[in-house]
Amino acid sequence: MSMKLCIIGSGYVGLVSGACFADVGHQVICVDNNQRKVEMLLRGEIPIYEPGLEELVLKNVAAKRLRFTTSTEEGVDGADVVFIAVPTPPQPDGSVDLSYIEQVAREIAAVLKKDQYRVIVDKSTVPVKTGEKVADTIRRYSKPGVVFDVVSNPEFLREGCAVPDLMKPDRIVIGGNSERAVAMMQKIYEPFMAPVLVTDVNSAELIKHAANSFLALKISYINAVARICEASGADVEKVADGIGMDRRIGRNFLNAGIGYGGSCFPKDIAAFIAISDHLGEPFHLLKEVQRINAQQRERFIDRLRDKLWVLRDKRVAVWGLTFKPDTDDVRSSVAIDVVRDLIAEKALVTVFDPKGMEKAVEFKLIEGAHLATSALDAVKDADALVIATEWKEFSAVDFSRVKELMHTPLIFDGRNLLEPAMVRALGFDYTSIGRA
Ligand code: UGA
């Protein structure tokens, strides 16, 4: 059954969710207070790069199931369910800045009408107990007689495969304390034919932070194992395969590298630490996860410095700027940190990324770096090549050509993208993570 949905916030989560909800037949209106963004969307331009998203948006706009507006009133007025999908950025102490959520809750409260039942859904990643605060805020700022329920429905999509993640999720979590609201949410998700877990609001909120923290824990675990592999001559890829074949563990998220980044893991782990501290149950294990993650990059730069001896004035080519492949997102990217570390040591850095150059330049994240036009262009006369993001197209580059173009054939592979035997056979001095 088609439902009328309003999504407030047209970032990764809001826009992809809106497009997917429309695609399964719901009537969706996306609200964003950024006029430029809404104008772009109305012109059919997609402000982010996400495989499959553009087609999905255009198709559903043409079918009149997906609309865009800057007006919260217009969005909320005709909707059965209102999703909040605005940013929840970190504060300097790691805790979450909830001011956008509070602002939206107040805007919704101002336009809710008497006797028109509405479900307000929190889709943004928020600390446990935020649902209670949203409900209190709406109650305080709305007219008497307004009826609503607040639901938590965390989103588990990954950037780069957001559309398939949303269309075919492992699970849908609906946290609600009212049967009426939960039943409406179940209807929305019926067409997705995915397992649904119904919980109370607090548990749903916790599931999101606990899930991201566990995934980050897996990454730091394998990175710690990688160090032992380096010290003992073992191969971390083989070790990950061996432990990952145990279905209780699983092979996913056991790829060693220079650490996790992006707009979610660093922020969410810091937030979960802050939340647990606040609740009087400090989560020390997660502090170690953070420590191992930060050290991965430092150790990588140390090894590069050891090899090149002095980094100053050395020509270093860096392939990769985005926090992972198949996205143009450079927020909290370890690759960017590597570039900045090298520039800080006065190395002459040339960068190339298939999708991340524009945003890295726009946000002034790589000032002082030279911009190459291709992967091969970047390695001309380089003393070393650093692979910082595992774009598939990098492994398809002609490495005999790379060797001819480089000044000295040194590769530092921070993502274990290349086959050691292949590059060594070509005469490269090759260093990767946790592999001899
Ligand atoms: C992550 C979660 O995977 C999603 O389920 C969640 O919905 C999302 O955060 C969110 O909270 O919104 P995302 O940040 O898009 O998704 O990217 P991931 O694919 O999880 O990668 C995060 C980082 O971990 C990347 O820097 C990646 O390079 C790194 N990583 C991942 C590793 O270093 N090793 C691995 O084995 C896997």
Q: Is 418 in the pocket of ligand 1 (CB under 6 A)?
A: no
Q: What is the mean pLDDT of residues 280-304?
A: 98
The CB of 157 under 6 Å from ligand 1? The reply is yes
Which token pair is 396? 């398809």
Eight-state DSSP code of residue 326: S
pLDDT, position 1: 80
CB 162 within 8 A of CB 16: yes
Q: Does 264 participate in catalysis according to the annotation?
A: yes
Q: Name the amino acid, one letter, at 375.
A: A
DSSP state of 158: -
Ramachandran region of residue 355, left (φ > 0), alpha (ψ -120 to 50) or beta? alpha
User: What is the percent of the chain with per-residue pLDDT over 90, rounded to a whole number?
Assistant: 98
Looking up tokens 């990324």, which residue turns up?
A: 353
Over the stretch 232-272, which tens digit does the pLDDT of each residue have?
999 999 999 999 999 999 999 999 999 999 999 999 999 99
* Mean predicted lDDT score pLDDT of the chain: 97
Is 115's pLDDT higher than 90? no
For ligand 1, atom 35: residue with the closest CA: 253
pLDDT exceeds 90 at position 414: yes
| N-term to C-term CA, the chain | 57
**Closest ligand 1 atom to Cα of 161:** 15
Average pLDDT value for residue range 119-126:
97
Give 208-220 pLDDT, tens digit per residue. 999 999 999 999 9
Q: Is the pLDDT score of 49 beyond 90?
A: no
Convert the pLDDT of each residue in 167-206 to its tens digit. 999 999 999 999 999 999 999 999 999 999 999 999 999 9
What pLDDT is stored for residue 425 in this prediction? Answer: 98
What span, in angstroms and rounded, lies between the C-alpha atoms of 308 and 318?
15
Q: Of the candidates 327, 332, 377, which has an alpha carbon nearest to the alpha carbon of residue 352?
A: 377
The C-alpha atoms of residue 225 and residue 146 are separated, in whole angstroms, by: 55
Q: pTM of the entire structure?
A: 0.95
Instruction: Say how many Å lie between the CA of residue 202 and the centre of ligand 1.
Output: 23
